[in-house]
Structure 1
Amino acid sequence: MSEYLLEFKDIYYSYPLATAPTLQGLSFGLPKHKKTALIGENGCGKSTMFLIADGLCKPDRGTVLLDNLPLTFDKAALKRWRQRVGLVFQDPEQQLVAPTVAADISYGLCNQGLPESEVAAKVMKTLADFNLETLAMSPLQHLSLGQKKRVSIAGVMALQPELLLLDEPTAYLDPVQTRNLLVELESIAQLGTTLLIATHDLDFVYQWADWILVMERGKLVAEGETLEVFQQLQYLPKFELGMPTLWQVWSRLAPLMSQEVPAPRTIAELNIYLEKYVSKSNFI
């Protein structure tokens, strides 16, 4: 049995009238039950990869596998595929289709042909899981952007996918909304769902991800555990997204430590290190 849930093998894809392929031999394996971040500059092919992973675009050539089963494009196979793979778009307005929160969460469940009683039970559970009970009958147009993003994630998670893809989930969110999203994503991961997030927010990636995929011009240029990948990226001259703020701070502080410790992934961890291992005389 494969250690990867999703695999791309030599995937090529070109949009009509494009002068060059958007994906050019993209190959990677997505580890099961990990929180994975996909990073790269605008135009590197992240969103296209997501559309192919959800079966919304058909690659020109190459193979996509889910738990060793190849993606095919007949109607029945696509329906089964999308029951296992959920996609949350960057803009929730592209995803929300019903007049109220509860109705939107029920939409995908109804399309599965489930009995009304089962749909109702799953909607109630999802509302509770995402702390949306008080908003159940609220019109979607009355919600804040953060609330709309939560509803769009809840609607996908009501279907209990094995793999959840999120395209720029922190875009346009304030720090409080981003922290709330972290809590929700952690809860989803605890259910055993494999998560893949495309984002430019490297501070978010550094704190959240177990595994990182790095794309450049339609290809994979780096992959691995979070600290390992950022160590690689600092020596790649063409990587222009920068580095996480905490990583940059730590790179200056690490030589002052009285003993070698793992790089901190949160401000709380950094504060503990400073109190335990850094002599105040170093700052005088």
Structure 2
Amino acid sequence: MAGPILSARGVVFRHPGREVLRGVDLDIAVADRLAVLGANGSGKSTLLRLLAGAIDPAAGRLTLDGAPYRRDRRGRNRLRRRVQLVLQDPDDQLFATTVAADVSYGPANLGLDRAEIDRRVAAAMAAAEVAHLADRVPHQLSFGQRKRVALAGALAMEPEVLLLDEPTAGLDPAATRRLMATLGRLHAAGTAVVMATHDVDSAWEFAEHAAVLVDGRARTGPAAELLADPALAARARLTPPWAPLVSAALGRSVTRPEDLLDPGDDPGAGG
């Protein structure tokens, strides 16, 4: 079996006067669906920035295909080609005068020819459902639209691993459902999707694996198992997902929301 794309071993990170991560171990496999959860200040965003190579750990080891991250220009460019981070606030990433120009920035900096840049931009905007906004000014768009434009910019790099910091923050329920459907399609196409989130229900529904940050370390395992653990949720200051609570009331074993249906139920049937 192939090893993980990205790994963290004993990773430590310190802010002035405070150790945020105290020895995190984590693996991200090909086409993984991983949720990173924890309380405010637990280090979720920091961990994603470390994995993306945006910051360096104080101690520990980060590897890409088993090889330590290289901090020279060639190493950083190699990492950027394969791993992309989408920040919580899209305004921290958007700067061009049109959506298409913003999405094209990354591929253009790879030195690709115009035809390849145009192909990537078109594909990324289609995947993020922003093709109709190509000529719009990003900062005149809604918050949800700007989030999707930032996502398109990352997708234009055609990464193997997509890191998303609080992707559903600031979105209404309909926009959240659309975004999660988009992430599902990206995963089905072979992209590993890693999301740091407070949205426990979305994480439980989407993620195959979870990493719950508590006291500077990561408890990892199957998402359905970890997120339904009330003791772990309490330690991490998380609210348990609704589906396991409903299943307990119904006396059923639930590992995904669709398991709440009776075997004979038709989820598409009218009332």
Check whether TM > 0.5. Answer: yes
More deviation, 108-117/24-33? 24-33
- Aligned pair count reads 265
Counterpart of 1:234? 230
- How far has the Cα of 1:2 moved from its partner? 4.3
In structure 2, what residue type is equivalent to 1:100? T
Whether the aligned pair in 2 keeps the contact of 1:89 and 1:166 (CA below 8 Å) is yes
* Counterpart amino acid of residue 8 in structure 2: F
In structure 1, which of residues 26, 48, 55 is the aligned counterpart of residue 24 of structure 2?
Answer: 26
Question: 1:2, 1:68 within 8 Å by CA — same for their partners in 2?
Answer: no
Please report how far the alpha carbon of residue 235 of structure 1 lies from its aligned counterpart in structure 2 after TM superposition.
2.9
Compute the displacement of 1:3 (Å): 3.1
Q: Which residue of 2 aligns with 1:166?
A: 164
Question: What is the aligned-residue identity percentage?
Answer: 35
Partner of 2:3: 3
Distance 1:239 1:128 in 2: 37
Residue identity opposite 2:260 in structure 1: L
Q: Aligned Cα RMSD in Å? A: 1.8
Tell me the secondary structure at the aligned position of residue 71 of structure 2: coil
> What amino acid does structure 1 have at the position aligned with 2:236?
F
Q: 1:272 is paired with a residue of what secondary structure?
A: coil
Counterpart in 2 of 1:13? 13
* Contact map agreement 2:224 2:255 (CA 8 A) in 1: no
Larger radius of gyration: 1
1:82-97 to structure 2, matched below 5 A, reads 82-97=80-95
State the Cα deviation string for residues 6-65 of structure 1 (Å, max 9, x = none): 1111111112xx223111111122232121100011111111111111111111111101
Q: Are positions 1:224 and 2:214 aligned together?
A: no
How far apart, in 2, do the equivalents of 1:126 and 1:47 lie? 24
Give per-residue Cα distances to partners, 1:201-256, cap 9 Å, x unaligned: 11111111111111113211x2111222134x3133523212011221111111xx
- Do the aligned residues in 1 keep the contact of 2:30 with 2:160 (CA within 8 Å)? no
1:159-205 deviation line (CA, Å, top 9, x unaligned): 11111000000001001100110111011101211111000111111
Aligned pairs for 1:1-284 within 5 A = 2-15=2-15, 18-220=16-218, 222-231=219-228, 233-236=229-232, 237-254=234-251, 262-263=253-254, 265-266=256-257, 268-272=258-262
Partners in 1 of 2:236 and 2:143 — Cα distance? 31
Q: Does the 8 Å contact 2:230/2:240 carry over to 1?
A: yes
The 3-state SS of whatever aligns with 1:56 is: coil
TM norm structure 2? 0.92
- Distance in 2 separating the partners of 1:165 and 1:131: 19
Secondary structure, in 3 states, of the residue corresponding to 1:86? strand
Distance 1:230 1:107 in 2: 38
Instruction: Give the residue type in structure 1 aligned to 2:87.
Output: F
SS in 2 for 1:4: coil
Is the CA contact 1:2–1:67 (under 8 Å) kept in the aligned structure 2?
no
Contact 1:264 1:270 in 2 (8 A): no
| Regions of 4+ moved over 6 Å | none
Question: Which segments of 5 or more consecutive residues in structure 1 lack a partner in the other structure?
Answer: 277-284
* Structure 2 gap segments, 5+ residues each: 267-271
Secondary structure at the aligned position of 2:46 is classed as helix
